[in-house]
Structure 1
Amino acid sequence: MRGKRRAPRPAIPWRSPWTPVVCLAGAVAFGALVAVSFLVKEVAVVVDGDRTEVRVVAATVREVLADAGVSVGRGDVVRPAMPESVTDGATIEVRRARPITLTVDGRTTRHLVTATNVGDALAELDLTPTAGQASAPPDDAVPLSGMELSFYTRRKVYVVAGTSRISSRTTARTVREVLKQKGVPLRRGYVVSPPLRSFPADGTIITVTPPRTMPVRPDVLRLDWAALAECESHSDPEAYNPDGPYYGMYGFSMPMWEAVGGMGLPSSWPPEEQTYRAQLLYQQVDGRWRRQWPSCGDSLFG
């Protein structure tokens, strides 16, 4: 075998002049992957209560929301704030702004709220649901497009009908609603102040006066009505006789009172109103007074 030359050995790859370069590039790539893995964060993004988990390498809240495809508009509330940095496991909350056209006791204003239901929207606007009446239930949703909302506060108003003065805590929108709530009947010709369609603000005094559309004849006016009142009730406009029952200065029964346009109880009205209704009653029965005032009717004639 002496004298034979050995065949050349194949080149070893790692002994190639490019080997150091390849190794360095691999090390850099591996290091980059390791570094990126440490930068990736798991963040929860909650938009109006809907929660989404995202994996991001973003450094701030603004960047996380951009990566998650969540846009932020005027009036939206973001917590933490947009410029703040984000750590792994963080939660970002976004509450969308909703336009509200709010009318409180007839006065309209416009607002942006982030509440998703009517009750929370009222609270955000410093209105307590129990302090009044809203046009929508507290659990109703506030759409992202917004809504119109009316709220009537609980106000104290007074109803004056004759000598009766009724106080009421009400959320009524009109004078008519107040009278209906208090059971005050209205008939054609009754004079109501303020007008029935007006808004009853806090402290409003509502007066109700029956009409005096029918004139009293002069011969009826000349009768001694003071003597009749003295005989019937000692001229007490608030008199009450349970036998009928009978009410007021002239001992009205309710059918008698209502037949001449009286409203409510006769005894709740001032003497002038009771006298006017008694005179109408005399005219209506065409002078046949004995059925109305069998014991005292004679006093009309002195």
Structure 2
Amino acid sequence: MAVAAIAGGTFAFKALDKSVKLVVDGKTQSVSTYASNVEGVLKDANVKVVKRDDLTPKLTAAVADGGTIVLNRARPLAIDIDGVHSKKWVTAYTVEEALSQLGIDGGADVSASRSQRLPLKGASLEVTTPKTVAINVDGQAISVVSTGATVKDVLDAQSISLVEGDFTTPAVDTPVTSGMQVDVTRVRTTTTQEAQPVPYSTSEQPDGTMNKGDKKVVTKGVAGEQVVTYTVTTTNGVVSAKTQVSAQVTVAPVNEVVNVGTKEAPVAAAPAPSGSGAGSSGGGSNAGAIPSSGGLNWPALAQCESSGNPKAVSPAGYMGLYQFDQRTWNANGGSGSPLDASAAQQTAIAQNLYNARGISPWPSCGPKLLS
């Protein structure tokens, strides 16, 4: 009877023994236990549970033979998301699961492998979430989704290179934000050469054989040639600066030399007006002596044009001894009105006109100048 009692007790004891599957942070072990609830099983397995841990089922839940207990222990996670630092507690035991618990986009760029296990003592992660960025480069507008942390990272991912002189707005080290616009500016500096004329200068020298007011070109000026070197800066293909670096004269200019008369012109008495000269206003009076100049017969020309009257005005509006219009008078050195000038002054301006155009301004009377 004693043997039977012992045997019966053994069977009863065996009946209370259970085999429970315990999964801790993804690792499974089998626990043989007489405990009636989850808390007892964990105690038998020497597994402690703290407040932030995730336990299924709860501590007070009953356990049966063949049951399963899942424990995911909490661990601290120092995380940097797009430059924002924070500390989180997660019950995930891999990086992938931690990101999922925190609701971070699956396309985010992470500083560690997603399959890496997280130790109980904690870990640090840097996360860059995908962002939409608009890029203006080389005349094109590009929209990209990037996990680059900085503007440079975004450009590198698109194989957009920068060379010396290029720059971006904002700068390449600027952290990326969603909706950011990046403008790439290309700056190039080249050297170019241009052929340009070299202007000549004009000098005057006195000539005692010529009357005052007379001028004669003795050496005609000729422009030279030079090669001018520039540095040219373009910004996005448009010239933004042009600076001369050097100039090399290849053909020297020939400077112009002009002789200027210094001899006083002789003064001749003006003939009495006949009242029948070309352009005469009629009834004019002699207002002063008419000087001769350079061997030319100015009195004869004046007599023909105006009957020698410095105040003569023709019906067509021509004025003075030599019947100037106002425009011709001004163009040849005259000032004011010819009618206000002396006979000598009018003759000096007529001399200038003759030097420039010969006798052509006086088609009818001009030959008398040469008589």
Fold in common (TM above 0.5): yes
Q: Is the 8 A contact 2:74 2:90 kept in 1?
A: yes
> C-alpha distance in 2, partners of 1:137/1:286?
64
- Flag the 1:114–1:285 CA change in 2: closer, same or farther, 3 A: farther
Residue number among 238, 242, 256 corresponding to 1:274 in the alignment: 238
Structure 2 residue 53 is matched with structure 1 residue 76: yes
- Name the structure 1 match of 2:63: 86
- Name the structure 2 match of 1:13: none
The number of aligned residues is 210
Shift of 1:147: 1.3
After TM superposition, the structure 1 = structure 2 runs for residues 1-302 of structure 1, keeping only pairs within 5 Å, are 32-129=9-106, 131-161=107-137, 163-188=139-164, 190-209=166-185, 260=232, 262=234, 269=236, 274-276=238-240, 279=242, 283=244
Q: Is the 8 A contact 1:210 1:261 kept in 2?
A: no
Shift of 1:139: 2.0
Q: Is the 8 A contact 1:119 1:139 kept in 2?
A: yes
Q: Is the 8 A contact 2:188 2:233 kept in 1?
A: no
> C-alpha distance in 2, partners of 1:49/1:171?
30
Which structure is higher in helix share?
Answer: 1
DSSP 3-state at the match of 2:239: helix
Could you list the per-position Cα deviations for residues 144-195 of structure 1 after superposition, in whole angstroms to 9, with x for gaps in the alignment? Answer: 2221112212211122347433322211111122233334443455443223
> C-alpha distance in 2, partners of 1:102/1:173?
15
> C-alpha distance in 1, partners of 2:26/2:61?
21
- Name the structure 1 match of 2:321: none
Q: Which has the higher contact order (CA 8 A, sep 6+)?
A: 1
- Flag the 1:175–1:287 CA change in 2: closer, same or farther, 3 A: farther
- Flag the 1:122–1:285 CA change in 2: closer, same or farther, 3 A: farther
> C-alpha distance in 1, partners of 2:161/2:4?
95
With the length of structure 1 as denominator, give the TM-score of the two structures. Answer: 0.59
Shift of 1:203: 0.7
- Flag the 1:208–1:49 CA change in 2: closer, same or farther, 3 A: closer
- Flag the 1:46–1:181 CA change in 2: closer, same or farther, 3 A: closer
Report which of the two structures shows the higher radius of gyration computed on alpha carbons: 2
Q: Is the 8 A contact 2:52 2:73 kept in 1?
A: yes
**Structure 2 gap segments, 5+ residues each:** 191-230, 250-371
DSSP 3-state at the match of 1:116: coil
| Equivalent AA in structure 1 for residue 81 of structure 2 | V
Q: Is the 8 A contact 1:132 1:151 kept in 2?
A: yes
- Flag the 1:102–1:40 CA change in 2: closer, same or farther, 3 A: same
Shift of 1:84: 0.3
CA RMSD of aligned residues (A): 3.4
- Name the structure 2 match of 1:227: none
Which structure is higher in strand share?
Answer: 2
Identical-pair percentage? 31
